[in-house]
Structure 1
Amino acid sequence: MTVHRDAAVALIEQLLDEGIALRRRARGLLPPLLQQAAAMICRALDHGGKIIACGNGGSAADAQHFAGELVNRFETDRPALAAIAITHDASVITSIGNDIAFEAIFARQVAALGRPGDLLLAISTSGNSANVVAAAEEAAGRGMEVIALTGGDGGALGRSAAVALHINIPHHSTPRVQEMHITVLHLLCALIDRTLSSEGGGDEPTHPV
């Protein structure tokens, strides 16, 4: 199967243009939301809490990526930060899915691991992932703050009373939303590092080979 070169170039340019336009739109929407989200995350960590992240598919990968940046580092050497993604333990996830329901795979883990003062980052491209909504409700019921990261119109997650802060990427394309989600997470990491550096004096950014 071959794609005509002109058609391929046109597709690439179209998709890049869509991404650029969405970033420009997000530039006017995201700054106050990301400042608030970073402050919430830093407050939870400062008070001895941890960050729990969840999502399905690409959002599961984003949850693990974000937890990895916090536990290890982003660009600046700093103490490890308490964060866990509840998306990758196949034995736990399949046992809950088999014995209870797939909708419970995250909520059950939040029930086991979540404590008052912790924070849940709930990621759903559509906002309608039932298991992510259930996790948010479980977290709020346990005295945790919940940040929702969604796309489209925000769906059920964006409308949930369990969510303390809703960061929405208002676009219909799943790939474009996912591209912005990883940008949002990287921006949060930068803000968290900046906050911790200003509070305690951090090292200059490092760039490992």
Structure 2
Amino acid sequence: MATETDDPFRSHLTLHHQALMSVGQDLVPLIHQAVEMIVTCLEDDGKLLIMGNGGSAADAQHFAAELVGRYRAERDGLPAIALTTDSSILTAVGNDYGFEQVFARQVAALARPEDLVVVLSTSGNSGNVVAAVRTANEIGCRSIGLLGRDGGALRDLVDLPLTVPVESTAVVQEMHILLIHLLCEAVDHHDFERRERS
């Protein structure tokens, strides 16, 4: 028997469905581009540097784990690092340089032009993520943003924004997990041919 407590669930599920339809209608061509960027990076002996805050930090770690381990298909591990996991680096950089530098400092230390920076931000305006993308741009790395709402400042800073155009942080994060799984599915089934750098 339906009660008033069903309403929040129905409302959330309706919003989730609308966001899913938006992903299916608007983002599929961009998802294909993202797969091409990831494949090119890995075939050029690059690595993925992935980051975000809060729930997006967990999603960054999830993405890295699926690549280093596997999503579904058996394959070799792929080089991906979540910049959210080293508490000593995060606290040292945060203490010495400020929280806005916790990712930028790692990008400056670890990134090379053949690498790919992947950022997750439901608002598109996280200061430490924005700083990291600016650093990546200076190095010459390409970047993908899994974003929400209108994409925020990151929409124009990353090379490829995958933006879920809803206001609900929870629903954006749900769609980001879906996007991560779609990317992993495609990468799992790619036959990599590593190219030697000259």
**TM-score class, shorter:** over 0.9
Percent same amino acid among aligned pairs?
47
TM-score, normalisation: structure 2: 0.94
> Once the two structures are superposed, what CA deviation does each residue of 1:30-73 show, in whole Å capped at 9, x if it has no partner?
11111000110011001100000000000000100000000000
Question: Counterparts of 2:7 and 2:120 in 1: how far apart (Å)?
Answer: 32
Please tell me whether residue 192 in structure 1 is matched to residue 187 in structure 2.
yes
**Could you tell me which of 152, 155, 160 is aligned with 1:165?**
160
SS in structure 2 of the partner of residue 111 of structure 1: helix
TM-score, normalisation: structure 1: 0.89
> Once the two structures are superposed, what CA deviation does each residue of 1:83-106 show, in whole Å capped at 9, x if it has no partner?
000001111001001101110000
- What amino acid is aligned across from residue 183 of structure 1 in structure 2? L
SS in structure 1 of the partner of residue 45 of structure 2: coil
Q: In angstroms, what is the RMSD of aligned CA positions?
A: 1.2
Question: Counterparts of 1:30 and 1:191 in 2: how far apart (Å)?
Answer: 15
Please tell me whether residue 183 in structure 1 is matched to residue 178 in structure 2.
yes
Matched positions, count: 192
Question: Counterparts of 1:132 and 1:166 in 2: how far apart (Å)?
Answer: 14
Gaps of 5+ in 1: 201-209
Question: Counterparts of 1:132 and 1:124 in 2: how far apart (Å)?
Answer: 8
Could you say which structure has the greater relative contact order, defined with CA pairs below 8 angstroms and 6 or more residues apart?
A: 2
Gaps of 5+ in 2: 194-198
Contact in 1 for aligned 2:22/2:164 (Cα 8 Å)? no
Question: Counterparts of 2:104 and 2:83 in 1: how far apart (Å)?
Answer: 10
- Mapping of residues 124-135 of structure 1, within 5 Å: 124-135=121-132
* Deviation at residue 17 of structure 1 after TM alignment: 1.5
* Deviation at residue 13 of structure 1 after TM alignment: 1.6
Question: After the TM superposition, which segments of 4 or more aligned residues of structure 1 sit over 6 Å from their partners?
Answer: none
